[in-house]
Chain A
Amino acid sequence: MKTKKILSILIAGALLGQTFALTACGDDPFGDEGNVSGKYNISVGYRDSDGGKVVLEALKTKYETEHPDVNIRLRSYGDTFDTFMNQNFTNQSNLPDILWMPDNEFAGWASGGYFLDLRSFYESSEETSYDLYYETMLDCASYSGEFKPLSESTEAKYGLYFAPRDYNKIVIAINRDLFTKYEIEIPDTSDGWTMNEFFALCDEINDKITEKVNSEDSDNIEATSLRAVFFQLSSEVVYTTMFHAMGSDGIVDENGNLVLDNEVNSKILDTYYNELTNSAYKLSMTASDFERGLCFMRCIVRPTAVDLQTWLHNMDFLPFPAKTEDGKTEIGTGCSGYGISAVHADDEQTVNGVTKKTKDLAWDFIKYVISEEGQEIAGETGLSVPVLKSLAANGKWRKAIGEELNHDAFMAGDELILDTYNVFDPQLRNKLRPHVVNFFDIMSNKKSGSEEKRADYLKNCVQQFEAAKIR
């Protein structure tokens, strides 16, 4: 009887333990685990994708060598900054000291007080003088879309809520092997090129594929899998640039109305459908087609370029076709960077009798990241184009993934800031974007992108957009 009871308790204990072990699976990734006693500990959260870890590890190694009393703890927060923040608003202590954030997701959180305004840090030293950086990238880090130094305004909306780390311009990656095989000349884009020239190139590719498919060649069946371009219209940087390049003032007017059906925008959508969607071999719907050598071109930003290299060695870059009728070229440019979480900002850590605030320790690391040395380290990984203007022409980033490649494509034209949603309250913006993404995904579908079918989808999109504005 006694053995039976002991056995019962043991089994029940094991089951109970298992239950709690399971709950621990979702434990916060930014606890104290990995802290080193006798050192200042700083936690940094990064996104899994786009090589965030690779860049940070390179920076951490060098920074810790130069600052032996600091321990930088790197932790992934998953794939999406916005999702991570949404999962932790009731458990704010779970936030790391420093967070990597993209310019299109931070605004709502910054306006709600989650991140420190970094202007006083920037302005405390000549080493981080605003002049050193692209002004437009600093604008991206302000939730009003326009940054102002403290001397001009102390209003929170003009603050800097992350330190931009990179200069992220959209470019077109091309598969040189396919161009050679199908005897298609790579266009000279040194002076920029227009959307019409790009559509003409897609036409030519489509014709060549069609010719191959209809031939008696042994690879005619394989040719049916080929496509001209993975364009990804639903990406904000792509649609913003394309609409601008084709003469639109944007898809949202100054009153916050979605104006995808005005005269200019309707015409652009018609052109897009007729020139790209409604063809047999033009539009690829899968990003990996390019990696697998099935697509002649694709739109990319810098971090993706490194991944492409592992798949395809003979690639190159062209600037995005954004030259307007009046000869100007403005290409969608965003950035990402590191912000300091307000939750732990005033926590204090003491090492060897010296007490420092977490925010000062965090800034010191961020300052290193945006210094010339830090920017060169990040650039060397190939994942990042420096935000420092001084490194544009000859930084190490140009050598990281093939010195012979056309890195000028990442610098072509002027910056076009992604400000479509800046007319809205920062806390609304992330709720509005998905509806537009959904609409553009539909527009890229041959069955639904035509003019006659578009009206219904647009009506639905506008309804969802308007409903999201009210919430």
Chain B
Amino acid sequence: MENEKLTMETNEGGASSLGLVPKRYTLRRFKKDFGGVIYVLPTLVGILLFTLIPMLVSLHYSFHKINPHDMQNPIGEFTFDNYLRMFRSNSGDWGSVSRSLFITFRYAIVTVAVSMVGSYALALFLNKSLKGIGAFRVVYYLPCLIPAVAGTLLWANITNENTGYINLILQRFGLPKYTFYTEAKTVFPTILLMGVFGWGGNMVMWLAQMKNIPREYYEAANIDGANKLRQLINITIPMTTSMVFYILITSIINALQVFGSYYPLINGNNRSELNFIVIKIYDTAYVEHDWAYACALSWLLFVIIGSLTALIFKTSKWVYYGDEN
């Protein structure tokens, strides 16, 4: 207490008295925070060891020519070539990188849009006070409890061209088989179809936000004669924009990093449609063992995601966080 008083006294002017100037961090203060620091230390160490240091190492690798075969000098000279190579069409990798980026962005844009609209509509329906609505909420959420890879393998079996249940049923009704993940041309529609079963996760978030909207707003709107559509546009959507913002950002990041859900499904036929950018990075590193280039591709993705996130934050004036001073 004495130290804090001393700090206050030595600060100049009225700013310190208003608490605008940070207090000097004292030994006593550190002793007081020690327990908390110890609690967060494992997480900090974990982030440092498993995230920050590997990030720095990968940045270092991405600017070097790496030849693991060269025993004396595996990490060679400084070079920009790993970055230039991905944008060179001749003697470079632009064809493959641009294809991966295209299918990744197409996947992100379409699945994020469809999933947000679909799960929002689902939440609107499940927000009603109907008998047994809880059971519907559970049923829609259940698929989200299945791990991504397990879910993928499950769907791969169900949609197998020759032995999958869906094709067996189609054949039973005299309909032709559908190739699902087997053929490149049917991969993307199949992804969209299977995506429906992942709507439950976002639906729960929308529901939580919708439940927070004060009922008085709707009562007032009813008195003013606003119909349901008007209430949706003027009350529900504006009051859930903070969740729109959150789900938009996390969905875009997740979609741009898509990997585990589709990696087990890749074969020679559908690779052109499933070679998402993270899958390309993985193959570059662990199949081709081209470490430096894989690191450079990772940083490209990092910059893309970072820029997109920053852009969304920058243009987030439409988000309503409740009454603010």
Contact = CB atoms under 8 A, between A and B. Distances in A.
A binds B: yes
Contacts of A442: 268-269
A8 B39 contact: yes
A12 B38 contact: yes
A113 B72 contact: yes
Given A12-B39, A23-B49, A112-B70, A431 B290 contact: yes
A420 interface: no
Contacts of A342: 71
B70 to A, nearest CB: 5
Given A16-B42, A113-B72, A434-B288, A463 B269 contact: no
Contacts of B272: 460
Nearest to A107: B69
A447 interface: yes
Contact of A108 (B69, B96, B291): B69
Nearest to A95: B71
A113 B67 CA distance: 12
A12 B42 contact: yes
A463 B70 CA distance: 26
Contacts of B291: 86
A5 B35 contact: yes
Interface string A100-132: 000000001101111000000000000000000
Interface in B84-100: 91-93, 95-96
Contacts, number: 89
Given A441-B268, A467-B93, A4 B70 contact: no
B268 A82 contact: no
Q: Which of A83, A89, A342, A427 has the most CB of B within 10 A?
A: A89
A346 to B, nearest CB: 14
Interface residues of A, number: 46
Contacts of B72: 113
Contact of A448 (B49, B92, B269): B269
Given A431-B290, A434-B288, A8 B38 contact: yes
Contacts of A92: 71
A18 B49 CA distance: 13
Contacts of A108: 69
B45 interface: yes
Interface in A410-456: 426-427, 430-431, 434, 438-439, 441-442, 445, 447-448
A255 interface: no
A86 B45 contact: no
A306 interface: no
B74 A89 contact: yes
Q: DSSP class of A's interface residues: helix, strand, loop or mixed?
A: helix
Nearest to B179: A447
A111 B290 contact: no
B75 interface: yes
Nearest to A110: B69
A114 B288 CA distance: 19
A112 B41 contact: no
B25 interface: no
A447 B96 contact: no
B106 interface: no
A445 B287 CA distance: 22
A90 interface: yes
Nearest to A428: B69
A92 B73 CA distance: 11
Contacts of B267: 441, 445
Interface residues of B, number: 35
B68 interface: yes
Contacts of A9: 38
Contacts of B286: 83
Contact of A113 (B70, B75, B95, B287): B70
A292 interface: no
Contact of B288 (A427, A447, A457, A468): A468
A11 interface: yes
A181 interface: no
Interface string B273-304: 00000000000001111110100000000000
Given A8-B38, A442-B268, A445-B268, A431 B69 contact: no
Q: Which of B45, B70, B267 has the most CB of A within 10 A?
A: B70
A171 B275 CA distance: 36
Nearest to A234: B268
B81 to A, nearest CB: 10
B39 to A, nearest CB: 6
A90 B69 contact: no
B128 to A, nearest CB: 45
Contacts of A426: 69
Contacts of B91: 470
Contacts of A90: 74-75
16 contacts: A4-B35, A5-B35, A12-B38, A16-B41, A19-B46, A86-B289, A89-B68, A112-B68, A431-B290, A441-B268, A442-B268, A448-B269, A464-B96, A467-B96, A471-B288, A471-B293
The 8 closest A-B CB pairs, nearest first, are A442-B268, A112-B69, A89-B68, A15-B42, A12-B38, A113-B71, A8-B35, A86-B289
Interface of A: 4-5, 8-9, 11-12, 15-16, 18-19, 23, 82-83, 85-86, 89-90, 92, 108-109, 111-114, 342-343, 426-427, 430-431, 434, 438-439, 441-442, 445, 447-448, 457, 460, 463-464, 467-468, 470-471
Given A457-B268, A467-B96, 20 more contacts: A12-B39, A16-B42, A19-B42, A23-B49, A83-B289, A86-B68, A89-B74, A90-B75, A92-B71, A112-B69, A113-B71, A114-B69, A343-B71, A441-B268, A448-B268, A448-B269, A460-B272, A463-B95, A467-B92, A467-B93
